[in-house]
Structure 1
Amino acid sequence: MSTARDNILKRLRNANAMPVQSTEIAFEPWGFDKSKTEQEKMARFCQALTASHAQVIQLESSEIGATLETISLEKGWHRAAIGTEGEWINDFRQGLRALDIIEYQNDIENWKSALFHEVDVGVTHVLAGIADTGALVLWPSVQEPRTLSLVPPCHIAVMRASTLHNHFLEVMAEQNWAANMPTNALLISGPSKTADIQQTLAYGAHGPSELIVLIVKDK
């Protein structure tokens, strides 16, 4: 096995092995404090995501395809769903080429059964990250609809490190949402979970039971 693949597998297994402390961590809200360094923001973001049972891997943009390929082999996936556009769409196609890829370009009624019953993973881009709460901001579109992140058992979300902000208001202000308000925005902080039944926490009841976040370092 190549050194590059060894390194990817090591990062993936380290992400899986990180202790879950979702019932122990008490985060103090940051409010509107902008004095945090980039390192502090990233540390808070990764800690909050991990505490919510997400797996986090930091990587170079050149490693996206190889990382997707390695994760797919490790998980034994057979079918993936992706959009049709986006900064790293070609990396998605390359990394998932060994799988049966469904690109979201047809009416949902034509492949709804496959999406709900056969697709193992949905891969999407991320508009921004929120350090304060460890949340991902997705801006669904015709090219990359929200079902890709809400339906398959696993969601892989790929975000650029420079899109990490302190809080949600900062995301809206710095990305000028007032002039270009989305018709739909998703905030995702971990895998789907519920405690409705006997107040026992269960994952995957209403969506993905697994969330893997790939954070692409800026050059």
Structure 2
Amino acid sequence: MSARDQILQRLRNRTGDRLPTPERDFTAMARPEWSTEDKLARFRSAMAPVHGEIHDCRGDNWVTVLAGLLADRQVARMLVGSGAEPLTTLRSSKQELPDILVYDEPVESWQEHLFHNVDAGLTTTRGGIAETGSLILWPTAEEPRLTSLVPPIHVALLKASELFGTLREAMAVQHWHQGMPTNALLVSSPSKTADIEQTLAYGVHGPRELIVLVTE
């Protein structure tokens, strides 16, 4: 028997007392029951210092707000996932919008176009975290993660009813333990880095602008 086999056999034969399972103490993560208004206020205060732009919308009014923001930035092409929403709402709107590019093919077939000819990306969100000012993105085949990571402007739709106090609350309410995508994302600001001469710069490794449209 090799040394490796001897070690494994000793581990199999070990019959010592099992270590007790420690009690789960989440009191440090406990937060008061915040109202929706409180959550929105905390979300804003956390995101504003890192250049996150937040706009309140009502119903389908978000398309009107979006059209104005994109026009101000002279956006010519906007990338949207292939899912029913928000694509259906955009296509039925009478607002003057940029050309809508639908992410409905493998990235390999149009990578050059994606990285050089798309001005903005519009995504849905799984919700938001008030405590940290973070968006929860849940990439799918219909809305790949590159929709939010590649275009220089990222616009995210956030339902006020899906704003949670903490990450732990979001994970519990949405039952993350029952299944997650391969790359769930938490987005708290535009892309930024201070690696260059210790000077904070935005848009170096991803979007230089993050625009959040809060609906409901």
Whether the TM-score (by the shorter chain) exceeds 0.5 is yes
Consecutive unaligned residues of structure 2, counting only runs of 5 or more, are 1-27
Please point out which of 45, 49, 60 is paired with 2:43: 45
- How far the C-alpha of 1:140 sits from its partner, in A, is 0.2
Structure 1 partner of 2:207:
208
Q: Is the 8 A contact 1:152 1:208 kept in 2?
A: yes
Q: Is the 8 A contact 1:191 1:210 kept in 2?
A: yes
Alignment map for 1:26-175 (pairs within 5 Å): 31-94=29-92, 98-175=97-174
- How far the C-alpha of 1:149 sits from its partner, in A, is 0.4
Q: Is the 8 A contact 1:65 1:94 kept in 2?
A: no
Q: Is the 8 A contact 1:64 1:92 kept in 2?
A: no
Partners of 1:97 and 1:183 in 2: how far apart? Answer: 36
CA offsets per residue over residues 9-33 of structure 1, 9 Å max, x none? xxxxxxxxxxxxxxxxxxxxx9321
Closer, same or farther: CA 46–34 of 1 in aligned 2, 3 Å = same
Closer, same or farther: CA 200–158 of 1 in aligned 2, 3 Å = same
Whichever of the two has the greater Rg, that structure is 2
Structure 2 partner of 1:188:
187
Q: Is the 8 A contact 2:127 2:137 kept in 1?
A: yes
- How far the C-alpha of 1:97 sits from its partner, in A, is 6.0
Partners of 2:192 and 2:92 in 1: how far apart? Answer: 31
> What count of residue pairs does the alignment treat as equivalent?
188
Q: CA RMSD in A?
A: 1.6
CA offsets per residue over residues 38-71 of structure 1, 9 Å max, x none? 2211100011111110110011122022122222
Consecutive unaligned residues of structure 1, counting only runs of 5 or more, are 1-29
Provide the TM-score with structure 2 as the length reference.
0.82
**After TM superposition, which residue ranges in structure 1, 4 or more long, deviate above 6 angstroms?**
none
CA offsets per residue over residues 74-110 of structure 1, 9 Å max, x none? 1111111010115433223456764222101011111
Structure 2 partner of 1:23:
none
Alignment partner of 2:60: what SS?
helix
Q: Is the 8 A contact 1:83 1:145 kept in 2?
A: yes
Closer, same or farther: CA 98–44 of 1 in aligned 2, 3 Å = closer
